[in-house]
């Protein structure tokens, strides 16, 4: 029986042939991929020739092509269009992947070749990207525990295997809980206050879940949750939905994540101590720009105090608004969005029912594409004939100013039960210039409520721009080695391209280009643009506090001894009490659905990265404001020094090359309205 992963794809641009790929193909492809890669590793390690950069590091970079080809397709599909069969394969593959990496980073023969080169580094005549590649690989082996004794290495291997299973299960549980909960409404009284755009999305959600006409379904996906909390007049129903959102993974059922969170944190701490680190956070941060948990706390604390001051005033204003209505209840977390929307409307004569008609999904998408063209000279050409993995996905050829193909871009914007929550960028193929110019295939995923028309709130507009910023990092990458391509940078640098791109979304000059009324085609009025600008720092005390609370919670799990992590709710309560989080604000993510930190290692002890990168992006955007939003020289510098370089140089050196100096926190505080 043929298997598409064992064949050369005869598709345009070597796109994955999604229509011929079956679930069962992955098991055989992974088995063969692991086998082939290990044979290549053995060949490199046992090469009788003295180690050289080419026969060791370049050979490693070129190895594992079948495994990478299979994994790129598989892990994208389990995130975007999963099913029980794929989830079962994922649980098995996650363990295999962990063992494969453990074997790789504990291969003493391979490490000896790398170490020989590392110790002779000054005499090798390497170029900067090659030197960094060698330093990074050597450090990866050392951090993996290769120099520890055999029993310690086995302990780490066992822990990695357990974590692979537990982290995968954590993510599956969150998806199951998200799909299981639904707030289905039929009574007109229960729907009062909800605008037609929200009702249209809820009708569509109800239909997708099998409910008859006249039913409206709301879920705990943010694209469904947030509009309901903003507009629903029924306070009891807002409380119901809020409780469901904040109790995800905490219901004592088969999908409960409390025990998993504790076990994951304990194992990570144990692994870090075996490797000689005080905690998992100390281990993870050693290899990031921050360097140490104290540096992260210093930044968080610097923003936390002004955020709390503003949040206290916001809470007082909301309580006054409640009293103004003749109500005598105390402000609760499920009231915050609702009364904030009322205050926004009164103070700025602005609400989302007024702005949404100007932000139809297609208009926003094309507006983001136009910003990329104006900045970097690239165009997104629709390519509907290209194969895709789901009917909702739209394909584009990305063309440079000189007419050459940069890569392929896939846009997957709508939520569905088979797709995990949130928004992210990924790749079906990464860029590299190793041997030949390999053009990337980049995907942007969001979870907008599917409706016709699909009208976006301002936060969702920012999300679309944000993910395209990540996409540009992957598309415009121009590096030699695959492991340095695109977003393969230090975790607390990866959000710079995405967050700086958000700034263009609401610049008046840009809004006039793309924000048009979905029915009349009318350009967004200047008066409405001014309202958006004037309200840009409104509610930032709340938004900053809920984010920072989650970042503190991440560190509470990972920067301390495990005995303090024995009880999820106790740890959460203790940390929120320590920082003084008001009872009216909940962390953006609680532990049981905090996928960033528990569904994988990548963002563990790293959720702070968004605010760390915001220091860079706020400061960096000042360069464009100083020289002009679309100043060619500034845009070219950002492309050449940031987007094209990937992880081929140290992040701060890249930032200095673009900005000419180190970043300062001042612009961040101003942008969030937190400056004194």
Q: Is 1 helix (H, G, I), strand (E, B) or coil?
A: coil
- Residue count (the chain): 676
H-assigned helices in 595-665: 595-598, 609-627, 632-638, 651-659
CA distance 445 to 427: 11
192: number of Cβ within 10 Å? 11
Report CA-CA distances (Å) from 136 to 118, 133, 144, 492: 10, 5, 12, 16
Q: Which of 355, 348, 394 is nearest to 515 (CA)?
A: 355
Structure tokens given for 516: 């048009």
- What one-character-per-residue DSSP string does 299-337 give? HHHHHHHHHHHHHHHHHHHHHHHHHHTT--PPP-GGGHH
Residue pair 544/674 in contact (Cβ under 8 Å)? The answer is yes
| Active-site residue, selected from the candidate residues 61, 177, 314, 467 | 467
CA distance 8 to 146: 36
Q: Given 3-state DSSP classes, what are the helix, strand and coil percentages for the chain, each rounded to the nearest 5?
A: 60, 5, 30
Q: Which of 673, 212, 248 is nearest to 420 (CA)?
A: 248
36 as an active site residue: the answer is no
For the chain, the first-to-last Cα distance in angstroms comes to 68
Residue pair 562/269 in contact (Cβ under 8 Å)? The answer is yes
* Backbone φ, ψ for residue 72 (5° rounding): -60, -40
Report CA-CA distances (Å) from 190 to 217, 353, 597: 12, 19, 36
Angle subtended at Cα 184 by Cα 178 and Cα 190, rounded to the nearest 5 degrees: 125
Task: Strand 405-414: give its sheet, edge to edge.
Answer: 379-382, 394-399, 405-414, 441-448, 424-429
- What one-character-per-residue DSSP string does 107-175 give? -HHHHHHHHHHHHTGGGS---HHHHHHHHHHHHHHHHHTTTS-HHHHHHHHHHHHHHHHHHHHHHHHHH
Report CA-CA distances (Å) from 433 to 259, 399, 439: 45, 18, 9
How many CA within 13 A on the CB side of residue 472? 33
Q: Which of 120, 92, 99 is nearest to 38 (CA)?
A: 99
CA distance 250 to 177: 9
Active-site annotation, residues? 467
């Amino acid at each position: 029986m043929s298997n598409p992963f064992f064949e050369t794809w005869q598709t345009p641009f070597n796109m994955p042939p999604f229509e011929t790929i079956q679930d069962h193909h992955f098991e055989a492809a992974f088995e063969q991929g692991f086998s082939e890669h290990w044979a290549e590793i053995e060949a490199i390690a046992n090469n009788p020739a003295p180690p050289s950069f080419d026969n060791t590091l370049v050979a490693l970079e070129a190895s594992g092509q079948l495994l990478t080809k299979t994994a790129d397709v598989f892990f994208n599909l389990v995130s975007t269009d999963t099913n029980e069969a794929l989830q079962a394969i994922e649980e098995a593959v996650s363990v295999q992947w962990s063992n494969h990496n453990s074997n790789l980073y504990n291969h003493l023969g391979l490490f000896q070749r790398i170490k020989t080169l590392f110790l002779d580094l000054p005499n090798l005549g390497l170029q900067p990207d090659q030197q960094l590649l060698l330093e990074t690989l050597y450090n990866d082996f050392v951090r993996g525990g290769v120099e520890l004794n055999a029993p310690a290495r086995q302990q780490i291997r066992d822990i990695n295997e357990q974590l692979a299973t537990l982290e995968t299960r954590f993510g599956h549980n969150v998806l199951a809980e998200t799909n299981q909960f639904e707030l289905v409404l039929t009574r007109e009284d229960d729907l009062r206050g909800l605008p037609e755009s929200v009702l249209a999305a809820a009708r569509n959600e109800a239909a997708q879940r099998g409910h008859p006409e006249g039913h409206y379904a709301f879920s705990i996906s943010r694209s469904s949750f947030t509009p309901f909390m903003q507009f629903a007049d029924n306070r009891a129903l807002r409380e119901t939905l809020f409780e469901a959102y904040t109790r995800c993974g905490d219901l004592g059922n088969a999908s409960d994540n409390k025990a998993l969170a504790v076990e994951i944190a304990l194992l990570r701490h144990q692994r870090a101590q075996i490797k000689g680190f005080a905690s998992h956070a100390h281990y993870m941060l050693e290899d990031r720009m921050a360097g140490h948990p104290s540096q992260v706390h210093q930044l968080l604390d610097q923003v936390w105090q002004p955020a709390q001051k503003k949040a206290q005033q916001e809470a007082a204003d909301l309580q006054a608004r409640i009293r103004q209505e003749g109500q005598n209840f105390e402000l609760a977390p499920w009231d915050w969005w609702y009364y904030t929307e009322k205050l926004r409307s009164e103070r700025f004569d602005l609400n989302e029912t007024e702005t949404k008609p100007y932000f139809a999904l297609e208009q926003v998408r094309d507006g983001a594409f136009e910003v990329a063209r104006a900045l970097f000279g690239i165009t997104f050409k629709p390519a509907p004939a290209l194969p895709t993995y789901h009917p909702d996905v739209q394909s584009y050829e990305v063309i440079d100013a000189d007419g050459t193909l940069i890569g392929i871009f896939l846009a997957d914007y709508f939520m569905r039960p088979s797709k995990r929550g949130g928004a992210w960028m990924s790749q079906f193929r990464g860029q590299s210039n190793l041997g030949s110019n390999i053009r990337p295939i980049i995907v942007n995923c969001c979870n907008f409520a599917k409706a016709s028309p699909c009208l976006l709130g301002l936060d969702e507009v920012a999300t679309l721009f944000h993910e395209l910023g990540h996409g540009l990092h992957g598309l415009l990458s121009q590096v030699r080695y695959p492991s340095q391509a695109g977003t393969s940078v230090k975790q607390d640098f990866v959000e710079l391209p995405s967050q700086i791109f958000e700034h263009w979304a609401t610049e008046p000059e840009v809004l006039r280009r793309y924000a048009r009324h979905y029915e009349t085609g009318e350009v967004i009025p200047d008066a409405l643009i001014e309202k958006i600008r004037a309200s840009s720092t409104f509610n930032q005390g709340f938004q900053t506090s809920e984010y920072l609370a989650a970042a503190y919670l991440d560190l509470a799990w990972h920067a301390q001894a495990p005995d303090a992590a024995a009880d999820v709710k106790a740890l959460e309560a203790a940390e929120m009490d320590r920082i003084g989080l008001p009872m009216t604000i909940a962390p953006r993510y609680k532990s049981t659905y905090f996928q960033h930190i528990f569904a994988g290692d990548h963002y563990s002890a790293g959720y702070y990265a968004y605010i760390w990168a915001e220091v860079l992006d706020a400061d960096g955007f000042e360069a464009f404001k100083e020289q002009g939003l679309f100043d060619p020289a500034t845009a070219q510098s950002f492309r050449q020094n940031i987007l094209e370089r990937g992880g081929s140089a140290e992040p701060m050196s890249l930032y200095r090359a673009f900005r000419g100096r180190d970043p300062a926190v001042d612009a961040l505080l101003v942008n969030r309205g937190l400056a004194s």
